Amino acid sequence: MGVGHIKVGTASSRFAAWIASGFILVAIFLPFVAGRSLLQDLFFIFSMLVLTQWWNLLAGYGGLVSVGQQAFVGIGAYAMFGSVILGNVDPVVSILIAGFAAFVLSVPTAFLAFRLHGAYFAIGTWVIAEVMRLGVAQWKAVGGGTGTSLPRSATRDMWFVDGISVLFDVKTSAARDILAYWLSLFLMVTTIAVIYWFLRTRRGLALFAVRDNSQAAQSVGINDFISKLIVYFMAAFGTGLAGGLIYLQKARISPDSAFSVLDWTAYVIFIVVIGGIGTLEGPIVGVLVFFLLQSLLSDFGSWYLMTLGVIGIAVMLFAPKGLWGLFTERTGMELFPTRRQLVIPEKET
């Protein structure tokens, strides 16, 4: 008998890696040919993809169904505004501060939320986000309950903007869009890479084991508490970064929008569910479907949201693995394989 070895990659994943590299290369050079509105659309898609990947890691892999991720979007956004307005920090640097602020705040939050399980966790995280929204509304220096705008001087003198403006021969406002686009592309690619890397480590494997059969996992001594904690902190950091970036581009903030459960959690949940929860490909498919639906139907306002709710219910009831799950069932293709396969060489005769 030959000794087997473990492999994770598949033919389709190697193909996907080439496609992804090609996509990233095209995306980097896209601002040279693309117009402003396309870049803005892609910024929206990339930043939503960051949020959805983190929520998917929490709920789909970690079993932590949070309804309070808007807390970290909001805290990130406000940390960014606070450091720009009060500390005169460059906005590009302040995005990093946004991530760290969300991470720091996620420590006491985790202390509270990890005492809760299942539905209690969901409601608990929601209440914590509400507490933060109401708390930030008391912070008069950044506009209190009505919110404020980024000072023009800060956004005009932002790092790289002058260089981009000269390089592309465009106005500074267009240069800001290009910068935001690049940052969102970078954040999106890093997010997916980090999550994929984490899922293939032992800590990630612990999550799979507990998710697939928690009793069997416990019987071989797997403690997934640390894995879940790491996932929670990473998600807070990543969500905070995205929050800072999104509000750098919006340049206007208020507690109700930055801590909006609809924008930063409800949409995110629908995207993940429709695309396919518990896979890395699902959120990508979901965010594209979501963007299409939004471009086609957003003029219909409440009809659009009603449709989205009904689609979410239908997918959860009839195709709980989402669109990507249906596709994988038919084709067996995985672009980001995380399953370990045992390969045993055939016996020599």
Partner 1 sequence: MIWLETLIQGILLGGLYALFAAGLSLVFGIMRLVNLAHGDLIVVGAYMILIIVSILGINPFVATFIAAPGMFALGWLLQRFVLNRTLGDDILPPLLVTFGLSIALQNALLEGFSADSQRINAGALETASIPVGSLSIGIMPLLTFATAILVIFGLNQIIFRTALGRAFRATSDDPITASLMGIRPSSVFAIVTGLAMLVAIIAALYLGMRASFDPSIGPVRLIYAFEAVIIGGLGSLWGTLLGGIIIGVAQTFGAAINPEWQILAGHLAFLAVLLLRPRGLLPRAVD
Give the per-residue contact string, 151-170, with partner 1 (x = CB under 8 A; - = no). Answer: --------------------
Find residue 342's DSSP bridge partners.
Answer: 6
Cβ distance to partner 1 smaller for residue 41 or 263: 263
Give the per-residue contact string, 292-321, with partner 1 (x = CB under 8 A; - = no). Answer: ----------xx-xx-xxxxxx--xx--x-
Cβ distance to partner 1 smaller for residue 70 or 155: 70
Q: Which of 266, 264, 267 is nearest to 245 (CA)?
A: 264
First to last CA, the chain: 11
Q: Does 208 bind partner 1 (CB under 8 A)?
A: no
86-119 in b/e burial notation, b at 16+ Cβ within 10 A?
Answer: eeebebbebbbbbbebbbebbeebbeebeeeeee
Out of 27, 51, 128, 246, name the contact with partner 1 by CB under 8 A: 128
Beta-carbon count within 10 A of 247 CB: 26
In angstroms, what CA-CA distances link 206 with 162, 202, 310? 47, 6, 34
Q: Does 120 bind partner 1 (CB under 8 A)?
A: yes
Out of 8, 17, 107, 119, name the contact with partner 1 by CB under 8 A: 119
Out of 117, 156, 171, 340, name the contact with partner 1 by CB under 8 A: 117
Tell me which residues in 322-341 interact with partner 1 (CB under 8 A). none
The pair of structure tokens assigned to 74 is: 């909001």
- Residue 7 φ/ψ, nearest 5 degrees: -130, 150
Smallest distance, partner 1 to C-beta of residue 135, A: 7
Q: Does 59 bind partner 1 (CB under 8 A)?
A: yes
**Which residues fall within 8 angstroms of residue 222, CB to CB, at 6 or more apart?**
206, 209, 210
Residue 311: alpha-carbon gap to chain centroid: 21
Question: Which segment (1-9, 154-162, 182-190, 267-275) binds partner 1 by CB under 8 A?
Answer: 267-275
Smallest distance, partner 1 to C-beta of residue 295, A: 18
CA dihedral 106, 109, 111, 113 (to 10 degrees): -120
Residues that bind partner 1 (CB under 8 A): 59, 65, 67, 112, 115-120, 122-124, 126-128, 130-131, 134-135, 137-138, 261-262, 266, 269-270, 273, 277, 302-303, 305-306, 308-313, 316-317, 320
